[in-house]
Amino acid sequence: MPPATPNDPRAVGTAVACYTLWGLLPLLFMAMAANGFGAPEILAHRAVWSVFVAGLVLLLAGQWGEARKVLATPRTLAWLALSALLIATNWSLYVYATTHHATLEASLGYYINPLLNMAAGAVLFREKIDRWSAVAIGLAAIGVVIQTVALGHVPIIGLTLAVTFCAYAVIRKRVPASAQTGLFVECLVLLPIGAVFLAWLTMHGQATGFSSPSGLAWALVNGPATVIPLVLFAWSARRLPLSTVGFIQFLAPTLQFACGVLTGEALTPLRIVSFVFIWAGAGVFALGALNRSRAAKRAVALSETV
């Protein structure tokens, strides 16, 4: 596995592109819902069409040999089946949230996720959590508590999104398979489920994606919309510390939050207060990252003068 290098500009740029695409994804699902797609059908199309795009990516990367090796290795295959289950659960909740006026709660989940990434990085990969990061986690935790009070219930969708994606990130960082190969195998695992459900919808005349050329176009978009961000994520996550990935990930929920607000979801004063705490946590973490970067540069400069 490539070493984790927080100053790798290619990995950082790839992660930024990934989270920008994820942050704007609610707009696609909202548009599909407005055109007659239900959340289960959207998920099924994601599962089916992603295989073809992931296969193309694998072909371009020249990694079919690695894919065959992974498919013949039960232990690796089992881990990727588990990661496929986690990402499918994450997809399900996310599509449901964005098509049922709960995008703000979904964004909350992805604000929590970087904090879990930092904790996982410390426990599993011995990445250090300094005082800046600890304060950031504390502020965001307060925000989550206030959000719970504002909603009147524990934000189950948000918490589940955070936990499932953190677990997915940990597994993909440890599995001995390239980003392209791992994603292709995950898509293969999910393919039968999506295909069977689409066949059932078609038999009952309820498949919006097959009812018209425009419906099919909306369905096909799910392939690249699903695969491209995941490829970018898996490639960058294997080259960056989880703490760095966690910081960049604040970009996605910020864009999701904007999508929710712009589409008219309720934003009460108490919810605003909760997000202020979460944003403050992100800001503190950013200052800490900047401080660490400057300290590292000073250390390098000092070593070069010795």
Residue 129 lies in a domain: yes
Please indicate, yes or no, if residue 65 is contained in any of the structural domains: yes
204, part of any domain: yes
| Res 17 pLDDT > 80 | yes
Dist. CA 273–CA 280, nearest whole Å? 11
Query: Across residues 293-299, what is the average pLDDT?
Result: 69
Does 42 fall in a domain? yes
Does residue 1 lie within any of the structural domains?
A: no
Check whether 103 has a pLDDT greater than 70. yes
Q: Examine the pLDDT at 110 and tell me if it is beyond 70.
A: yes
Q: Which residue has the tokens 């020249």?
A: 62
Cα–Cα distance, 66 to 182 (Å, whole number) = 10
4 within some domain:
no
The string of pLDDT tens digits covering residues 231-290 is: 888 788 778 776 677 678 778 888 999 999 999 888 888 888 988 998 888 778 777 766
Q: What angle do CA 219, 40, 35 make, to 5 degrees?
A: 50
Domain count, the chain: 1
Separation between Cα atoms, residue 244 and residue 249, nearest integer Å: 9
Question: Using one digit for the tens of pLDDT, what is the confidence trace for 168-216?
Answer: 988 888 888 887 888 899 999 999 999 999 999 999 999 999 999 999 9
Residue at 105 is within a domain: yes
- Cα-to-chain-centroid distance, residue 257: 15
3 assigned to some structural domain: no
Q: CA-to-CA distance for 212 and 280, rounded, in angstroms?
A: 47
Q: The whole model's pTM is what? A: 0.83
Q: Which domain holds residue 41?
A: 9-305
Assess contact for 108 and 114: CB atoms under 8 A: no
